[in-house]
Amino acid sequence: MIPTLGTLTLAVAAVACVAVVISSLSAARFDSRGALRAARWGLVGYAALITIASAFLVTALLQSDFRLEYVASYTERALPTGYKLAAFWAGQQGSLLLWAGMIAWMSAFAAWSRSSNRGLGEAVTLGVLAVICGFFACLLLFAANPFEVVAGAVPADGRGLNPMLQDLAMLAHPPTLFLGYAGFAVPFAAMAGALAERRTDARWLVDIRRWVLFAWLALGIGIIIGAWWAYIELGWGGYWAWDPVENASLLPWLTGTALIHSMIMQEHRGVFKRWNVALLAATFILCIFGTYITRSGIVSSVHSFGESLVGTFFFVFIIVLLIGSMGIIAWRWWLLAPQRRLASLLEREGVVLIANVVLVLMMLITLVGTMLPVITRTFMPNEITVDQSFYNRIVAPMGLALVGFMALAPALVYGQQAGRRLGRGLIVPVVAAVLVTALVIGLGVRNVWALLAAFFAALAASAVAVNFLHSLRMERAHAQVGWVSAAARLLDSNHRRWGGFVVHLGIALIVIGFAWSSLFPEKTTHQVTPGQTFDVGRYSLTFKDLEEQRRENYTAVVAVVAAVLPDGTTIDVSPERRFYDKAEESSAQVAVRSGLREDLYLILAGWEAGGKVVALQAIINPLTIWIWIGTGVLTLGSLICLAPRIGKAAGVALNGGKRHAEDITKDMRAPATNRSSADTGEREDSRTSPRRPHRPVLEPASAAMFNPADSSPTRLSTGPA
């Protein structure tokens, strides 16, 4: 039943996409509202069908229906239920179904959330979404059908899930990553619609900025969860190996990061229009390209998947997307001319432009490095690969330079005076960063990369702190409220500015974690007998015994190790080696004890003489935990950006009713005063009513906005003079 129904559902879904394409074309041609509504309903129908197909696969997985090749390949009866579910995205077909499902729901949601949009642009947007959805439906149907039936007799038990994938992070990593990939489809389609409709102002960017930020956030979290998974599961002590599959997910994140920043410039200033559409197209195509690299096995990688028809499908689709995007951008090239020119390299646009160039170069270098084996294999007698040091020597220093640009952000303003203000705003942060760096040198660190990382991270953090404190003081004086409510008002006054700076703080923490854990890990190997005590860094470890334990679907050989921490407490750090029933090899399960200062990372490397001698590899990874903490901060910051403004009512509530009514009325009058000049950037939302993001957007080139004399509000953003 399920195999037939599943395949049938996919076929109907593919037909639904064709229908949506046809109805959006006719909506575009005849300006028909009915056709547009049909296209919307069609996308929702497609999402429902993909959901039904997914439900079939979930049912088959949970019921261990081994008639399905996919179920037999990736599960077994003894697998815990959670991992049976996770097996949904363990293999090629299932993970493509997940991708398709994510895109389907995003498209359906976009179709409805934009349901007030009409006309040619919306028809094109829906049509492009339907083409993307249709590609996945056809891919599933013809090249990667998860409902394929096993050849021959139905096996009594499945082959089991890859032990490496039997980890909690596995439940979260692929869906989050795919959510990010799929999230960029909607802005991409909206771009096609806006260009078709000749809408090259910033309004369409305002429509999609939450989508872009959401996709960027999901992609970033997905990448970091993947790194964490590698850290605790692959057992080599690191979290990032510049593997092609890892690089593939990094590429769209880099262009997405550039896009988030340059979109703001277009919104405020009407510049970078061509750059933005190109970045957005590149980001989505790189998402598809990342899946292509992962799923086609074109670059031999430690993750490689089998080569198949899937690769061809993706290759053709990428070519179509490339030609289509370049065509539509070229078609509207002259409409995308900038509305004003750069006034100074030290104003926001200048710095964002240079940082964007660095981001795009990072992406290109990573792309070339990743594809080099394929390029050289095709065009040269010898295949050339690059190892990790290639990326560490090129991309890592560029990343550090970016942190330097990031540190300038709080002190940056628009306009002619920007350079001078930047200098003034940076005095205190530079002093703070120099002090921090001196302190780090005092602690004995001499590595120049570590010192640079410390300097830039401290600069970034103190620039944000100084700017926030300064604005807080102004806010407090202006509103005559307490520190806490002033802080709340300030944060709420401009979510994107302060949320963005919280993201920057998160990045600074992550960079410190990257720098220390990759520059200063201490690896030691110990051959020990039961009862023996040995020292690793500041820890005293005692190997007690080697135990065998039977668990759900594997047997674990556990080296029971007790560690005495520097503060005298004893904890259990017992690395394992697991022999899964259905796996040919054993797999290591590391023991990690994370602390704010360092991680103690223990691997059971092997044993001799029936367990009388055990080899343990110990790694002290300094500051690794700050990568994960920084990711939490980054997520918090992005959520602040995404959250709608709470507004005046909340301000009153936060204030505990201390404010007088006249203050409130004064605030309500505030929009009339010209405080929210776009020149300040950060104040543009602050004194206006909550629903007024369009004002600076529609007319970014009006003369009043970059009048150098109009500088009074700008003081707010530059820190102490």
The least CB distance from residue 495 to other proteins, in Å, is: 31
List, in sequence order, every residue forming a beta bridge with 400; answer none if it has no partner: none
The least CB distance from residue 520 to other proteins, in Å, is: 19
CA distance 224 to 299: 22
Cα-based distances in Å from 674 to 196, 413, 490, 680, 712 = 36, 17, 18, 11, 10
The least CB distance from residue 11 to other proteins, in Å, is: 23
The least CB distance from residue 544 to other proteins, in Å, is: 18
Q: Which is nearer to other proteins, 31 or 552 (CB)?
A: 552
Q: Which is nearer to other proteins, 33 or 612 (CB)?
A: 612
Q: Which is nearer to other proteins, 249 or 493 (CB)?
A: 249
The least CB distance from residue 382 to other proteins, in Å, is: 5
Q: Which is nearer to other proteins, 5 or 357 (CB)?
A: 357
The least CB distance from residue 385 to other proteins, in Å, is: 5
Can you give the binding site for other proteins, defined by CB under 8 A? 73-74, 90-92, 159, 161-162, 164-165, 235-236, 297, 300, 302-306, 308, 341-345, 350, 353-354, 357-358, 361, 365, 373, 382-394, 397-398, 401, 525, 527, 557, 577, 579, 584-588, 603, 605-608, 613-615, 617
With vertex at residue 373, the alpha carbon angle to CA 367 and CA 379, rounded to the nearest 5 degrees, is: 105
Report the interhelical angle of 273-296 vs 92-113 (nearest 10°): 150
Q: Is 465 exposed, middle or buried (0-12, 13-18, 19+ CB in 10 A)?
A: middle
**Nearest by Cα to 363 from 475, 254, 215, 483:** 254
The least CB distance from residue 70 to other proteins, in Å, is: 12
The least CB distance from residue 53 to other proteins, in Å, is: 22
CB atoms < 10 A from the CB of 691, how many? 9
Q: Which is nearer to other proteins, 67 or 340 (CB)?
A: 340
- Helical (H) or strand (E) element with 488: helix 483-493
Q: Which is nearer to other proteins, 144 or 487 (CB)?
A: 144
Sorted by sequence, the CB contacts under 8 Å of residue 9 that are 6+ apart come out as 49, 52, 53, 56
Q: Which is nearer to other proteins, 25 or 372 (CB)?
A: 372
User: Dihedrals φ, ψ of 685, to 5°?
Assistant: -95, -10
CA dihedral angle for residue 341, residue 406, residue 495, residue 342, rounded to 10 degrees: 0
Q: Which is nearer to other proteins, 114 or 295 (CB)?
A: 295
**Nearest by Cα to 257 from 668, 654, 681, 638:** 638
CB 5 within 8 Å of CB 56: yes
Q: What secondary structure letter does DSSP report for 141?
A: I
- The pair of structure tokens assigned to 308 is 């198949």
CB 535 within 8 Å of CB 548: no
The least CB distance from residue 624 to other proteins, in Å, is: 18
**Nearest by Cα to 277 from 202, 354, 216, 347:** 202
The least CB distance from residue 342 to other proteins, in Å, is: 5
The least CB distance from residue 87 to other proteins, in Å, is: 10
CB atoms < 10 A from the CB of 177, how many? 29
CB 171 within 8 Å of CB 82: yes
Q: Which is nearer to other proteins, 324 or 521 (CB)?
A: 521
Walk across the sheet containing 598-608 and list its strands.
522-528, 613-622, 598-608, 591-594
CA distance 481 to 462: 25
Q: What secondary structure letter does DSSP report for 548?
A: E
The least CB distance from residue 551 to other proteins, in Å, is: 17
Pairing of strands 576-580, 587-589: antiparallel
The least CB distance from residue 361 to other proteins, in Å, is: 5
CA dihedral angle for residue 695, residue 699, residue 703, residue 707, rounded to 10 degrees: 50
Q: Which is nearer to other proteins, 134 or 399 (CB)?
A: 399
CB atoms < 10 A from the CB of 3, how many? 20
The least CB distance from residue 347 to other proteins, in Å, is: 10
CA distance 22 to 548: 62
The least CB distance from residue 26 to other proteins, in Å, is: 42
Q: Which is nearer to other proteins, 186 or 362 (CB)?
A: 362
CA distance 154 to 137: 27
The least CB distance from residue 325 to other proteins, in Å, is: 24
Q: Which is nearer to other proteins, 106 or 400 (CB)?
A: 400
Q: Is 219 exposed, middle or buried (0-12, 13-18, 19+ CB in 10 A)?
A: buried
Q: Which is nearer to other proteins, 111 or 413 (CB)?
A: 413
How big is the chain by its Cα radius of gyration, in Å?
Answer: 28
Q: Which is nearer to other proteins, 517 or 631 (CB)?
A: 517
Q: Which is nearer to other proteins, 124 or 557 (CB)?
A: 557
Q: Which is nearer to other proteins, 423 or 647 (CB)?
A: 423
With vertex at residue 59, the alpha carbon angle to CA 215 and CA 80, rounded to the nearest 5 degrees, is: 85
**Nearest by Cα to 486 from 651, 318, 708:** 651
